[in-house]
Amino acid sequence: MIQTKRLLLVLAAGMTVSLSAQFSTSPELLKQHVFYLASDSLLGRGFGTEQGRKASDYIACRFSQAGIGPYQGDYFHPFTHRTGILNIRGRNVVGVIPGSDPELREEYIVVGAHYDHLGWKVSDGDTVVYNGADDNASGIASIIEIGRNLAGNAESPGRSIIIVAFDGEESGLIGSTRFVEDSTVSPEKISLMFSLDMVGMYQAHGGVDLHGVKQMTGREWLTGELAAKHGLVVRKSDGQVVQRTDTAPFGNRGIPAIHVFTGTESPYHKPEDDADLLDYDGMALIVNYLSDALLQLSRAESISDMQPAEETAEKAGIFTPGVRLNLGSGHHEYPEAFYRAKSIFATQAGLFANIRITRFLTLQPEVLYGTAGSRHPDGKFRTHSVTVPLNLLISNPGRRGGGMRTSFQIGGYYSYHFAGKTDNGAVDFTAEYNDRGYGITYGFGFQVMRFQYGVRFQSALSGLYRDGDAERVLPGQVYFLMGFTF
């Protein structure tokens, strides 16, 4: 509480001193940036493409014109990302506005946005370009003009401000991950990070979201008094580090990271995400607000009360939903006769969720429709079921934002069989066969970006027949798993 009061006093003093720092961002300049970056000529700014490189050249040129200097003598942070047999060359664009406070200037606030998008495709003989105006030419235009505001202001920031355009976000947060892993700026010296990802739909969204802002000391000033000063509506604010954008590699290192966002009202990840749809007046409002916030936060004695990364990861309870398709085979085991019946095709499809407990442990509940069975004395035996597996995944931490994460899973399942048939007719679940079953599951898998693959073994502990004196028959399945997380 004492720390919070101290920050508020510093910020209040900063507001008194900087009343003259009334930023007036040009919507027309924002529009010029977006219309170039989201033009057909850049073919969607794909990661590792010539057009992506042209976009980074444009950004570096605009940094220079805006008065944002190169960080350590060079605007570019090049890196190579290996995927399969390919080495993809990417590069972040990094500029700096040096701090003026002798005690704070070796600390940094990072303001970032990704400049890559989804590229292009050929459909019915035509080239279809994913221009990515809102996602994320809007963010790049905004950080250029934030940098212009801060570099040209009479009052210099206290902490140094890093302005960075990340490459490879759409391919798995690759540029921001490499920025952190390569210690382009030592993570220990970064006090705060803002990521502007899709900020072009202020009016349509009814304001701006500040995800992660509640990690900060004195956040009430940021979402209340300062927002009111600029006439800005903060629609949502929370303390969550968003894992699906460039905040993740910073937040996972214990750096408070705020995602600035105006929703998915634009044609998200569609070719129709064009420059003429954006709200440039709303973008200018956000830029003015963030410029003011950054100036004053750069002079604050303390910014964050965020816990260290390990504790944050363990307590976050991050919930990630997804869809699942499993393909495999089913069979019946006859343990008393030491016999296994011939297999038939089996499949499952449905929903799952990853609930992260720690960096190494994830709880994975699922709800699946499935059909399975076996060869049987009455011919082919097949059931239709709703199955609810619950597995614990034990994983390696993986590389944040694009590396492969491997896991071993173990758990159990419960099934309700609502229909079935054999070659002789319908299965009788009222008298002969059990309509419920349970058992154990185990397997292994891996995740690359949003895609999950693996192998799962499902073994029943409950028998096929209702009659306890009947021969014991245990259903079993083996599945190849495919999943996609949102």
State the Cα–Cα distance between residues 223 and 281, nearest whole angstrom: 20
3-state helix, strand, coil in the chain (%, to 5): 25, 40, 35
Same domain, 299 and 377: no
The pLDDT assigned to 479 comes to: 97
Please give the pLDDT value at position 404: 66
Its domain, for residue 42, covers 2-312
Concatenated DSSP letters for 187-231? GGGEEEEEEE-S-S-HHHHTSEEEETGGGBTTHHIIIIIHHHHTT
Residue 302 confidence (pLDDT) above 70: yes
Residues 288 and 321 in one domain: no
| 83 and 162 in a common domain | yes
Report which of residues 33 and 339 the model is more confident about: 33
User: What's the pLDDT at 402?
Assistant: 43
The pair of structure tokens assigned to 3 is 């720390």
Strands 86-97 and 76-83, bridge-based pairing = antiparallel
Same domain (yes/no): 289, 329: no
Length of the chain: 486
Structure tokens at 6: 């101290």
Given 312, 340, 365, the domain boundary residue is: 312
Q: Are both 303 and 158 inside the same structural domain?
A: yes
Cis bond before residue 153 (omega within 30° of 0): no
Which of 267, 283, 312 is the last residue before a domain boundary?
A: 312
> pLDDT at position 304, please?
67
pLDDT the model gives residue 303 = 79
Give per-residue burial for 387-415: e unless 16+ CB within 10 Å, then b: bebebebebeebbbbbbebebebebbbeb
Among 257, 284, 312, the domain-final residue is 312
CA angle 40, 287, 248 (to 5 degrees): 75
**Domain co-membership, 332 together with 271:** no
Please tell me the least confidently modeled range out of 56-60, 188-192, 242-246, 358-362. Answer: 358-362
- Write out pLDDT tens, residues 406-439: 999 999 999 999 999 988 888 888 888 899 999 9
C-beta atoms surrounding 36 within 10 Å: 17
Instruction: Write out the two tokens for 394.
Output: 């034990």
Average pLDDT, the chain: 90
Q: SS3 of 285, please?
A: helix
115-131 pLDDT, tens digit each:
999 999 999 889 999 99
Look at the block and give the residue holding tokens 């990853």. Answer: 354
- pLDDT at residue 220 tops 60: yes
Token pair belonging to 304: 């964050």
% the chain with pLDDT above 90: 73
Check whether residue 325 and residue 295 sit in a common domain: no
Same domain, 304 and 422: no
- Report the pLDDT value the prediction gives residue 308, as an integer from 0 to 100: 40
Which domain CATH number covers 251?
3.40.630.10
Say yes or no: 136 and 257 in one domain: yes
pLDDT bucket at 397, cuts 50 / 70 / 90: low
Instruction: Kindly tell me the burial class for residue 322, based on how many C-beta atoms sit within 10 Å of its own C-beta (0-12, 13-18, 19 or more).
Output: middle
What mean pLDDT comes out for the span 163-169? 98
Distance CA 406, CA 362 (A): 12
β strands within 342-471, DSSP E: 344-356, 361-376, 379-395, 404-422, 425-426, 436-448, 451-460
Do residues 144 and 283 share a domain? Answer: yes
pLDDT digits (tens, 9 = 90+) for 1-20: 334 444 444 444 444 444 44
CATH code for position 416: 2.40.160.20
Same domain as 306, residue 365? no
Residue 400 has pLDDT above 50, yes or no: no
CA 206 to mean position of chain CA atoms: 23
**Residue whose C-alpha is closest to residue 67's, from 93, 98, 91:** 98
- Res. 449: pLDDT tops 80: no
- In this predicted structure, the answer to whether residue 367 has a pLDDT above a threshold of 90 is yes
Of 5, 157, 179, nearest to 79 by C-alpha is 179
Give residue 13's pLDDT.
44
Question: What pLDDT, on the 0 to 100 scale, is given for residue 311?
Answer: 40
Q: Residues 344, 440: one domain?
A: yes
pLDDT at 83: 83
By mean pLDDT, which of 160-174, 232-246, 400-414, 468-482 is the weakest?
400-414
Provide the pLDDT for residue 17.
Answer: 40
For 105-155, give the secondary structure using H, E and C.
CCCEEEEEEECCECCEEEECCEEEECCCHHHHHHHHHHHHHHHHHHHHCCC
The total of structural domains in the chain comes to 2
φ/ψ of residue 326, rounded to 5: -115, 135
Check whether 378 has a pLDDT greater than 90.
no
